[in-house]
Amino acid sequence: MSKPIKNMIVDEYRKRFAEIDGAVLIEVSGMAATADAKLRAQLRGSNVRVSIVKNTLAKRAFQGTPLEPLTHGLKGPRAVVYGKTSVVAIARELVQSAKKNDKLGLRGACIDGTWFDGAEGVTRLSKYPTREEAQAQVVALVLSPARKVAGSIVAPGRKVLGIVKEIESRLEKGETIARTAG
């Protein structure tokens, strides 16, 4: 392959992966064509893409980008799985698919400059919370003390309101209210 052609491919990789901050590396060689097509269709339904890359050119394209850690896993036939969705969600989907198809090889993943090596790394990544889940956890942690403070402020008022309602219901029944010792 000539140098201008290689440079065009590297430029194409840079454009394709420009907005991506994480991806998963898989190996699909050895998979039946129908299983591969089924996997790609399933991922496409989640707005996830699969691109088989030439390793040496992908290494050049990924240098200086958030995908640079992927270069650790670019050995042998590899495909990059990526999308606008969270890499954690992609990893979860691929781990489930790998359980059903033993020919699907999980080779690694990266997110925010961190490399997760092999199938164990991808499985570990799949157990992380997605960005949305993490944000929800932070919001819950921030709001928790406020709920406790509000509960402490409202609790005495609820007790007084309960007493007033009890007095009101007894008066409606015609009972007399007697003062107790205390």
* Rounded Cα–Cα distance for residues 49 and 45 (Å): 10
pLDDT (tens digit per residue) in 9-62? 999 999 998 888 889 999 888 888 888 888 888 888 888 999 889 999 999 999
pLDDT (tens digit per residue) in 53-108? 999 999 999 998 888 999 888 888 889 999 888 889 899 999 988 888 888 889 99
The full 3-state SS of 17-84, as one line of letters, equals CCCCCEEEEEECCCCCHHHHHHHHHHHHHCCEEEEEECHHHHHHHHCCCCCHHHHHHCCCCEEEEEEC
- Domain at 3-128: CATH architecture: 2-Layer Sandwich (3.30)
pLDDT, residue 103, reads 86
Q: Which of 15, 25, 31 is nearest to 52 (CA)?
A: 25
